[in-house]
Structure 1
Amino acid sequence: MFQKALLNEIVVFIAVAECGSFTLAAESLNSTKSGTGKAVKKLEEGLGLKLFNRTTRSLRLTEEGRIFLEASKHAIDTINEAKLLLESRKDDPAGRLRVNMPIGIGRNVVNNLKYFTQEHPKVTVELALSDRFEDAIQGEWDIVVRIGELEDSSFIAKKLCLSKRVLCASADYLATRGIPQSLHELRIHDALMFRASNGKIRPWMFQESSGNLTEITPNALAILSDGRSFVDAVIAGMGIAQVYDVALGSTIQQGQVIELLPEYAMPGPPINALIPSGRVMPAKTKVFIEFLKTQFNLA
């Protein structure tokens, strides 16, 4: 009878089906091939059904096996959902929290991460900085922070703040080269450009009071492809760049970096915290999202 099938046997069955091999499934479960085979056989006997068609060269699900696999995965998801629900009910956030963020805006979060850990010492934050979309949609992340939207239905977006593209340079650079008073004067200055993850150099975009857009692609003194080195080059005085304001952190307030031609500032996309869909948001995730909002000046 189905009621006698152990949860462990179902977990083993799912592993075999997804790996397509008893050997690989055993390795993923830290078990033995023999033990894995026995668990599946016992499950089949309990169900009174054949779940796999086996040959010496292949292992394929039967039609009944495909149906049972779908139902089994749904059942495991329901159990995990219940676990997360119980975790979310805890007053004191705890556990490991895996977060993936772009390098440029993540650098400022790293600088202030100690304030979060001081307030929530039972939460261990595992933070990875990457500009690659592939890194965002792969792996078991609790929170993925990205500029703009990800066209992936497996995530739900929680808006952290809006952004704008700020033309800026360091105070030291401007003291030496002068402050440009018009878009035309930008052509005589050193330009720092950013190469996006799609391989394209991001042009400078400006919005006039009339709403018209102006695009400029100056001759670049340097082209950088990660957000950290891009902002560091601006701070170091290498030249003028157009940067998302959230990547600059407090450098403008502290006077390290000066915003130029603010009347042409270009509205940027929202900054979103993306969480896996179909899950109850645990307390550790909720408090970290609130922390991120304070970091991006949206308490």
Structure 2
Amino acid sequence: MFQHALLNEIVAFIAVAEYGSFTLAAASMNSTKSSTGKAVKRLEEELGLKLFNRTTRSIRLTEEGKIFLDAAKHAIDTINEAKLLLDARKDEAAGRLRVNLPIGIGRDVVKSLPIFTQTHPKVSIELSLSDRFEDAIQGEWDIVVRIGNLDDSTFIAKKLCDTKRILCASPEYLSKKGTPKNLGELRNHDAILYRLHTGKLRTWMFQESNNEITEMTPSPLAVFSDGRSFIESVISGLGIAQTYDKALNSAIKNGELVELFPESAIPGPPVNALIPSGRAMPAKTKAFIEFLKEQLG
């Protein structure tokens, strides 16, 4: 049994194990390499075990170190869960908030972050943009935003807004290739398609005047599987593309893109904020969800 709490030493040990470097671990904790090394040494002395095999070129966990790392991380997670419960009791939003957003929507949210940070100065944001569903279910995110529902029982979905699937192109492309006068003329234009995480191409879909849905898979000039390249290619004038309106709000508003055949746009899936289940929702999480609703709505 520990003679002392040694919480700081345990945190230092976990950081060194995760970063594989005393220098990087120290930087992550705003500490020094020397202090971090001494903290790990104190922990080893308390345990009476060697946690790392050190050479001039590498640092590797011993077998005992691997066993202790799992137990230490579990203990820290338990402490963090308790802190989350305490945060939920606070009226004021504060603390670090980890958010994962799809790239298209995330581009606009990043631009609006100063609005949130000015209103909630005690919240620090760690934000990542990714379209990969794997990134949504891995990692300890406080909020994961996705278009459509993520079939994972470890999350609770909070609807942020609805979407439309719209067709768009840049003014430069339209001045060079001409503006299509009807849906049939789209087959004569350069099409940009998006490859879904399933490997399938996302088809173009339109609503006719009789409310029937028409589906089209044009021969693509280019195919992209990440939102950043996909959107930038359309803005750069590569061709015509169809995607969700919430990913293009600012680009259309500032004139970088032009919406084509808005009367034929069809409803898309909702945008959801996914929250880990089994936790009380802290004030910082509630505040950011309200911020997202305002920005996307």
Task: Name the structure 1 match of 2:291.
Answer: 291
Q: Determine the C-alpha separation between the residues in 1 that align with 2:276 and 2:48.
A: 30
Q: Secondary structure at the match of 2:223?
A: strand
Deviation at 1:33, TM superposition (A): 10
**Mapping of residues 94-173 of structure 1, within 5 Å:** 94-173=94-173
Q: Determine the C-alpha separation between the residues in 2 that align with 1:163 and 1:149.
A: 13
Quick check: 242-251 or 252-261, which moved more? 252-261
1:230 aligns with 2:230: yes
2:182 corresponds to which letter in structure 1?
Answer: S
Task: Name the structure 1 match of 2:252.
Answer: 252
Deviation at 1:263, TM superposition (A): 1.9
Task: Name the structure 1 match of 2:71.
Answer: none
Task: Name the structure 2 match of 1:221.
Answer: 221
Mark the structure with the bigger radius of gyration: 1
Percent of aligned pairs with the same residue?
A: 63
Q: Determine the C-alpha separation between the residues in 1 that align with 2:103 and 2:261.
A: 26
1:35 aligns with 2:40: no
Using the size of structure 1 for normalisation, the TM-score is 0.73
Q: Secondary structure at the match of 2:272?
A: strand
Q: Secondary structure at the match of 1:252?
A: helix
Deviation at 1:32, TM superposition (A): 4.4
Instruction: Name stretches of at least 5 consecutive residues in structure 1 with no aligned partner.
Output: 10-23, 38-72
1:115 corresponds to which letter in structure 2?
Answer: I
Q: Secondary structure at the match of 2:294?
A: helix
Q: Secondary structure at the match of 1:108?
A: helix
Cα–Cα, structure 1 residues 181 and 155, in superposed 2: closer, same or farther, change >3 Å? same
Q: Secondary structure at the match of 2:252?
A: coil
1:84 corresponds to which letter in structure 2?
Answer: L
Quick check: 149-158 or 254-263, which moved more? 254-263
Using the size of structure 2 for normalisation, the TM-score is 0.74
Task: Name the structure 1 match of 2:31.
Answer: none
Verify the 8 A CA contact 1:104 1:226 in the aligned structure 2.
no
Verify the 8 A CA contact 1:193 1:202 in the aligned structure 2.
yes
Deviation at 1:118, TM superposition (A): 2.0
1:177 aligns with 2:180: no
Verify the 8 A CA contact 1:168 1:260 in the aligned structure 2.
yes
Q: Secondary structure at the match of 1:238?
A: coil
Cα–Cα, structure 1 residues 34 and 203, in superposed 2: closer, same or farther, change >3 Å? same
1:279 aligns with 2:279: yes
Extract structure 1 runs of 4+ deviating beyond 6 A.
none
Q: Determine the C-alpha separation between the residues in 1 that align with 2:268 and 2:44.
A: 53
Q: Determine the C-alpha separation between the residues in 2 that align with 1:238 and 1:111.
A: 24
1:35 corresponds to which letter in structure 2?
Answer: L
Task: Name the structure 2 match of 1:212.
Answer: 212
After superposition, what is the alpha-carbon deviation per residue over 1:227-256, rounded to whole angstroms, capped at 9, x for unaligned?
Answer: 112111111111110011011022222222
Q: Determine the C-alpha separation between the residues in 1 that align with 2:45 and 2:211.
A: 66
Deviation at 1:82, TM superposition (A): 5.0
Deviation at 1:91, TM superposition (A): 2.8
Verify the 8 A CA contact 1:105 1:227 in the aligned structure 2.
no
Q: Determine the C-alpha separation between the residues in 1 that align with 2:85 and 2:135.
A: 27
After superposition, what is the alpha-carbon deviation per residue over 1:190-244, rounded to whole angstroms, capped at 9, x for unaligned?
Answer: 1111112222211111122433221111111111111112111111111110011
Verify the 8 A CA contact 1:81 1:280 in the aligned structure 2.
no
Task: Name the structure 2 match of 1:193.
Answer: 193
Q: Secondary structure at the match of 1:185?
A: helix
Verify the 8 A CA contact 1:173 1:238 in the aligned structure 2.
yes
